[in-house]
Amino acid sequence: MSKSTMNPGPITLDVLGLELNTEDQRRILDPLTGGVILFGRNFANRKQLSRLTADIKKLRSDVLISIDHEGGRVQRCKTDGFTHLPAMRKLGDLWMAKNKSNHLAESAAQAMAAATACGYILAAELRACGVDFSFTPVLDLDFGRSGVIGDRSFSRDPQIVFALAKSLNEGLRLAGMANCGKHFPGHGWAEADSHVAIPVDERSLAEILNDDAKPYDWLDLSLAAVMPAHVIYPKVDKLPAGFSNIWLHSVLRQEFGFEGVIFSDDLSMEGASVAGSVVKGAELALNAGCDAVLICNRPDLADQLLSQLKISKSKQKESRERLNKLMPSFPALNWDSLQGETQYQHAKGLLKQFNLLK
């Protein structure tokens, strides 16, 4: 049943539990499937997670196994040896820390080193259990308005967000993992949570480009993937950014020159409901510029997409070429080997030195 050809489709979907059932297997084997995203319900311990990821790869070696694993309150694997990484706000706080013997420049350097360490630990631990990719880092600015973002953000300052995200991305890269900046062009100003509501940001295009979107522009070639926000910016487009040709094509692709993968956010979220049915939403997202669409926590909707979504061969080829670049760049260390690796031990020691580990 294994398919080893590198032909991932545009749909990333989830699985029900700790092991694959027959319906999970059917969906993963569908040619429109290109990725599997894991959640906390899919993790009991390292042995079980490694078995689950291995079973997925036996079915389809070309699917990208992903997870939302950022640190802080968004960390799906929390026990059995996984490092409790700090919320990204802690790195921003370290950047701003000053005392008699520690000038701001030194604090900034320490924060960047800590961000690289976080990225390395995050990626190395996940890859040791067979996970290919994490949807991180958050590039949203912390305006103190959005509860769903909050301490997931590095800072209010786009320059600090840029520097710390670039450092974290370097840590991911050192462990063989790509990155995904989110939620373009910025979810930090809109107060509503797009999981359960439809957030609206009334600011102008110029305001957003000169502030929230700056990290995306500056990161340029170091960004492998981007996930747009389920936020409506009515002064720019009536559609949320993830369905907007203006945001994804005109701004992200053309103005910023971004050539990596664009993932839609979860199409089952309330913020995506303005697009209509899940099939209509996927079509809008893909036509606007997304390469892949996520559908989570709704196997019935995943089945609708798999049976009804139409995508041109040229679009699928273009997206496939981008998606293939997110696969890990070299083999992962197993867990036992990782524990004795000098780079891993140094990274953990650095976070302890800065009081960033519990």
Residues with catalytic roles: 195, 265
Task: Determine contact, residues 4/324, Cβ cutoff 8 Å.
Answer: no
Task: Determine contact, residues 133/180, Cβ cutoff 8 Å.
Answer: yes
Q: What backbone torsions phi and psi does residue 75 show, to the nearest 5 degrees?
A: -145, 110
Matching residue, tokens 């959640």: 39
Longest CA pairwise span in the chain (Å): 64
Cβ contacts of 272 within 8 Å, gap of 6 or more: 194, 230, 240, 242, 243, 264, 265, 266, 281
Count of Cβ atoms closer than 10 Å to residue 158 Cβ: 21
What is the C-alpha separation between 153 and 137, in angstroms, rounded? 9
Candidates 357, 319, 333; CA nearest to 35 is 319
